[in-house]
Structure 1
């Protein structure tokens, strides 16, 4: 399918995020195998993949989704057709009642938030029981004070972290109405990192785990990455679920859309900058691929050399904003780049379009799907109104 897409780049607008439907299905089939074999529930994390035009396919394999804002909750309700598993670092008073109505599970980030809202939860659930309606199950996010995430920006266990409650701030018994334990300390990690994380979790929260009805292990489980030991993961999850007699939920973001699509871009200009050849693109690292600068990481480009190769045409790639740091370098190619050449950034579907901005008035990339039957379907384009609507 990749070759077919590359051979039809002229039919795709630029810049454009292109999801490859067959690759998404492949990931979902693997994830479904894990959840069925381990007897757990795996749900979609919208913070990593919110492409709702693909939700009908996701819904064939995953029964739910997790949200961290009222807007994400509404997207789950409307396009997944289910109430959300909700975790918001701090709930707003004016939104809380709607959040309750639209959720099946609610995780509180702090003990003070639980104390503040527990009465409203109890009143809502009592009313639902009277009317034979669905109730909301509540949990608390904990900080096991163990994480192997190297980048501090993505590590929720650094000193002073606002995410989750440490053991010393919790009682010895879960109070009435609090049924779940939620942790999220992984970021694109493997099952062996999860194993060590569970050891830390159990050493600190073991007695509370025995009281819980469910445990949400958050995201960061990159089970669709090549070389990931899914059999080890399945064994871990089964053993944990049986040991504590709890329902287990995982909510990966990256794993769903890992290696499922690209960002197509075009060379607008090629300049000599003090002896360095620079290619300016119609996309932006800062506005369209911010993770490349935040993590940071160097994205792969199809049909290029990821690192400079002596003797081959080599270019530093720049985005089209006026931010001096909107560049990524350096790549080599078999042939010199020319204005109009297409460059295809690989693996640009997760944590990319969910973070795009219109900084500098730069237009957002279009969104399309390369269908399983080999057709390109343009899903959405953006123009001036998309930029203007974010301002006033």
Structure 2
């Protein structure tokens, strides 16, 4: 593979495959799907996304400005908006969602004539297997709990938003939706829209798309006043549509073979350490499954910068390329320049097989973030 490493590569053909699945849900369920920029924000592919999706959802001003690059719906939610940013957020957004009644009362007069106003509520249903990614965990700061809900403050509120899932199947949404309606169903008769949030792994193998469509249609039948139902997946948009290419820089033996790569779990794929998880490597097996086993280590000075253990049919050599699968989502938006390591380039693989390097990073990018 003739790519300068490290590099993220997004394949248009695989990305469009995901988008077609999402578009099917939109058409058959009568809902709108937004790309969550916190999970997938490669704006070089926005032309393709715009053909299929209704818009984008942002987590604050800068993401909203990124979403504004296309003439689609921009929905913005933040745990707390800043005084000097709320006006610009309202100017950009189709919908602004507040996380508390404090924020609603503080800013609703500045938003109500520019954008629709929503409230994020906490459905109280924990289903995420990782507490770090559970918005319904005890003492969560995300979403208004039923105990704190103020029915007398809804004059300017046209919709409710809940988000409780993380990389989950349709069965998790069934439980969450049941909890949401149990707590907040009495308020839905006065709403114009509802947002089911993200975390729906709609494009993953084994996801029951028909069941999702059924749930949305039945929800709309129960609440005929609801004009729009939104979903805002990030991962489902870019799931398995991209990978990270790295190069073996050195191989050492400190009790086992260790291959040091020109990438990093800490800097370039931080969820490997945060969740944690072991990303799949193309052509590799589990440790001991194949003849030659290696531990992949990053090039930072962090002792724990270890990606995982992998086995191969043939021994690795310095200069070999290694491909980490499913790296178009979260990894790209969460990476850092820790230790001054070069950020991976961003490459789009066109449907005709050609490669388009949309961005390379240089020393100046690292320097200018620091002072």
TM-score normalised by the chain length of structure 2: 0.98
Separation in 2 of the partners of 1:83 and 1:390? 31
Residue 57 (1) aligns with residue 79 (2): no
Partner of 2:259: 279
Q: Report if aligned partners of 1:22, 1:372 keep a CA contact under 8 Å in 2.
A: yes
1:88 aligned partner: 78
1:185 to 164, 168, 176: 164
3-state SS in 2 of match to 1:60: helix
Cα distance, 1:158 vs structure 2: 1.0
**Equivalence for 2:5:** 14
* Matching residue of 2:362: 383
Matched, 1:258 2:239: yes
- TM normalised by structure 1 equals 0.92
CA RMSD of the aligned region, Å?
1.1
Q: Distance between the aligned counterparts of 1:311 and 1:216, measured in 2?
A: 46
SS in structure 1 at match of 2:172: helix
CA contact (8 A) 1:173 1:211 kept: no
How far the C-alpha of 1:329 sits from its partner, in A, is 2.4
Which residue number in structure 1 is paired with residue 108 of structure 2?
A: 118
Structure-2 change in CA distance of 1:22 and 1:157 (3 Å): same
- 1:168 is aligned, of 147, 153, 163, to 147
The 8 Å contact of residues 152 and 158 in structure 1, kept in 2 or not, is answered as: yes
Q: How far does residue 121 in structure 1 lie from its aligned partner after superposition? A: 2.2
After TM superposition, list the pairs within 5 Å mapping 1:234-383 onto structure 2. Answer: 234-245=213-224, 246=226, 247-273=228-254, 275-305=255-285, 307-309=286-288, 312-383=291-362
- Of 90, 95, 98, the residue aligned with 1:100 is 90
* Cα distance change, pair 310–165 in 1 and its aligned pair in 2 (3 A): closer
TM-superposition CA deviations, 1:65-122 (whole Å, max 9, x none)? 00012111111112x2335200011000001111110101010001111011122224
How far residue 210 of structure 1 moved from its aligned partner, in angstroms, is 1.9
Q: Give distance in 2, aligned partners of 1:354 and 1:51.
A: 8
> In the alignment, is the contact (CA less than 8 A) between 1:316 and 1:330 conserved in 2?
yes
Count how many residue pairs are aligned between Structure 1 and Structure 2. 369
Q: Secondary structure at the match of 1:43?
A: strand
User: Which SS does the other structure have where 2:68 is aligned?
Assistant: helix
Structure 2 gaps of 5+ residues are none
CA-CA distance at 1:169 after TM superposition: 1.1
For 1:83 and 1:39, the matched residues in 2 are separated by 16
1:128-143 alignment, distance < 5 Å: 135-143=114-122
Question: Does the 8 Å contact 2:248/2:317 carry over to 1?
Answer: yes
Using the TM superposition, give the Cα deviation of residue 328 of structure 1 relative to its aligned residue in structure 2, in angstroms. Answer: 2.3
What corresponds to 1:132 in structure 2? none
Are 2:206 and 1:216 aligned? no
Per-residue deviation, residues 193-240 of structure 1 (Å, max 9, x unmatched): 101111111111110122211100110111100011100000000111
